[in-house]
Amino acid sequence: MPDDEPTARGGRAARGRQAAEAGGHPEDAPGDPESVARAICLRLLTAQPRTRVELAAALARRGVPDDAAATVLGRFTEVGLIDDRAFAEAWVESRHAGRGLARRALATELRRRGIDGETVGEAVATLDRETEERTARELVARRLPSLRPLEPAARVRRLVGMLARKGYPPSVAARVVREQLSADGADPGELTDLDDPPDD
């Protein structure tokens, strides 16, 4: 009946609002749980790569039952739509190239995204020490010109702090900063604080 049509539309709108308020998407409700889970995962994966843990958390926030979520996540893993190993390797490559992050920082980021320890170790191992140190030197060389007006001790603190925040071990940070400052003409006596600090 015509009088029923606004009510039906209103019901669909209300369900959409409820899904949105719960952190979901109007398209998530209603429907078969596995169909809803597939739609959510595909939408998220279309936007950007995700780990299995990230997708599981998204499904839980949408109220997808655990058994339906497990079934869909398992199927997506089988067909390669979810691949934590490939995600981790791509993350290491892109974050090192784009942000200059070292292995320690990269490992922390991957663990926060739910990647297991073995996969994290294998991914960060693709970044060798020579490449890591070369990147550290490039970071210091780019930052050094803007720090020349500062006192030597301040330059050391800024440069070592920058590398530490990006995950470089203290010994690597100290050696690279010492080498770069020496090449820039710093007095060796001003660099004594950089002699062989212990790594954590």
Torsion angle of C-alpha atoms 30, 36, 41, 46, degrees rounded to 10: -60
More confident residue, 87 or 155: 87
Q: How much is the average pLDDT of 172-200?
A: 72
* Lowest-confidence segment of 83-97, 110-124, 145-159 by average pLDDT: 145-159
Structure tokens belonging to residue 165: 């925040």
pLDDT at 192: 56
pLDDT at 153: 84
Ramachandran angles phi, psi of 172, nearest 5°: -65, -45
Reported as a pLDDT band with limits 50, 70 and 90, residue 183 is: confident
Rounded to whole angstroms, what are the CA distances from 9 to 16, 30, 150? 11, 14, 66
Surface-to-core class of residue 192, CB atoms within 10 Å of its CB (0-12 exposed, 13-18 middle, 19+ buried): exposed
Tell me: the pLDDT tens digits for 10-28? Answer: 444 444 434 433 344 544 4
Give the DSSP per-residue string, 18-74: HHHHTT--GGGSSS-HHHHHHHHHHHHHHHS---HHHHHHHHHHTT--HHHHHHHHH
pLDDT at 50: 96
Q: Please report how many Cα atoms fall inside a 13 Å half-sphere around the Cα of residue 38, on the Cβ side.
A: 9
Q: Give the span between the Cα atoms of 22 and 27, in whole angstroms.
A: 13
Q: How much is the average pLDDT of 154-168?
A: 93
CA 49 to chain centre: 11
**Average pLDDT of the chain, as a whole number:** 84
Domain boundaries, the chain: 4-78, 84-124, 129-194
Tell me: the pLDDT tens digits for 41-97? Answer: 999 999 999 999 999 999 999 999 999 999 999 999 999 999 999 999 999 999 999
